[in-house]
Amino acid sequence: MTLQKRNNVHIAGDGGATLILAHGFGCDQSMWRLLVPHFAKSFRVVTYDLTGAGQSDLGAYDHGRHASLWGHAADLNEIINEFAKGPVILVGHSVSAMICALATVQSPERIAALVMIGGSPCYVDKGDYTGGFSPDEVLQMLATIDDNYLGWAGTMAPVLMGAPGQPGLHEELLENFARTNAFIARHFARVIFLSDHRQDICGLSTPTLILQCPGDVVVPMGVGDYLHRVLPNSQLSIINNIGHYPQLSAPSACTAAMDVFFVERGFSDG
């Protein structure tokens, strides 16, 4: 089985640096459809489906290897080795923000920069850290996903997407959730919401852009502040948006912030 088949890898553009886009839970690479045309003008853009998601080879999803985000990070590094050329910039949304960060921890010499969109190292409130959910709330959510994944998806899609006045995006997210293998989704949800990668990424010095939305119901503003504080070479950019998917509901704001970051870091001439 090739990596292209395993993760349904696609390439657009032929720039000197490689931009790899990694999607979040319950979705696939179609989440990047509004950003790819913009960045393909300047970069070699690689999109893929996480193992177990989208049109990836579902048989490659391993409950041992993928019992933590480290397994997905290893998958990403394999994709980098196979498909990337020149400097590599990883762009991760939601859980993939941490997958990209962990991939960088595994191979720091290969990754030139990171972009985290709605990322969180820990979703549970612990001590003076506000992750957004109490332990009981996380357990209740996981139980709901276990009992009725599609019912959970139908209820949560409009809440997670936000995007008032753009009902088509709610439907698009729900369709993504519905296409996801429910058995894998249940397992992956546990991996995500029970993980704590704060110590793993603390002090990571790779240049990092943190994109945060004040209207994100999954990742509170305090998480973006926390990431900015513990990542010494980071900058925090606030996207004026309601919802967890600004790459769909506020694509122009996302590309504008990323363009500035790339120009400042010398990856693009604008």
- Which residues are part of the catalytic machinery? 94, 216, 244
41: tokens are 């003008």
What pairs with residue 133 in β-bridges?
Answer: 124
Radius of gyration over every alpha carbon of the chain, rounded to an integer in angstroms: 17
Give me the residues paired with residue 124 across strands. 133
DSSP line for 159-210: HHH--TT-HHHHHHHHHHHHHS-HHHHHHHHHHHHT-B-HHHHTT--S-EEE
